[in-house]
Amino acid sequence: MNHPLCREMLAEKIIVILRGLRREIALPACEALAGEELRFLEVPLNTPGALETIALLAKHFRGTEVHIGAGTVLTPAAVEEVARVGGEYIISPNTSPAVIRRTVELGLLSLPGFQTPTEAFTAIDAGADLLKAFPCGTPENIRVLKSVVPLPIFAVGGIDRSNRDAFLASADGLGVGIGIFRPEMSVEELRRSARNFLA
């Protein structure tokens, strides 16, 4: 947990997963989220035009408190592409030591996914900064994992307003997708959704 962004990410606690974000609304959508004080925004690489969108957002928010990263990063080559366009952190659904090592080499924050203690310690040995329990299961599952896993854990998968508090009582942070963002939302609908989640 050496990356300078770690402390800020843990303080903010929420990463918004923007799967399916359309490039034409990317800036106003992310400005709306930033206006609701959501400052960690993830564009999954399986979103069409993801690298172009990350480049656009990274340039727009450079030097601000809003941080843009990539999700669903599966290869070291993809890490390099994200670094090239200005992404600040790498989130994966799985534990890939090669991806983690390349992320750390390029100075980006590494947040890989895991399900078991074996995967967690494999990620830690490779240099991960934080960990993502995915799919996270239940709050009790997170509590059990945290009894042996020394790095902070973000819970991801099925988080919404109804279970937010239960997961925040056991996890160190949350990755939230459709609990806040759906690609068919207008900017105003997204703003209301973010406000409702944070209420």
- Concerning whether 42 is annotated as a catalytic residue, the answer is yes
Catalytic residue among 42, 146, 188, 189: 42
Alpha-carbon span 13 to 23, nearest angstrom: 25
Catalytic residue among 36, 81, 88, 132: 132
- Concerning whether 8 is annotated as a catalytic residue, the answer is no
| Residue 75 tokens, joined | 């290869």
SS3 letters across the chain? CCCCHHHHHHHHCEEEECCCCCHHHHHHHHHHHHHCCCCEEEEECCCCCHHHHHHHHHHHHCCCCCEEEEECCCCHHHHHHHHHHCCCEEECCCCCHHHHHHHHHCCCEEECEECCHHHHHHHHHHCCCCEEECCCCCHHHHHHHHCCCCCCEEEECCCCCCCHHHHHCCCCEEEECCCCCCCCCCHHHHHHHHHHHHC
Region class of 36: left (phi > 0), else alpha (psi between -120 and 50), else beta: alpha
Alpha-carbon span 82 to 131, nearest angstrom: 19
Query: Where in the sequence numbering do the catalytic residues fall?
Result: 42, 132
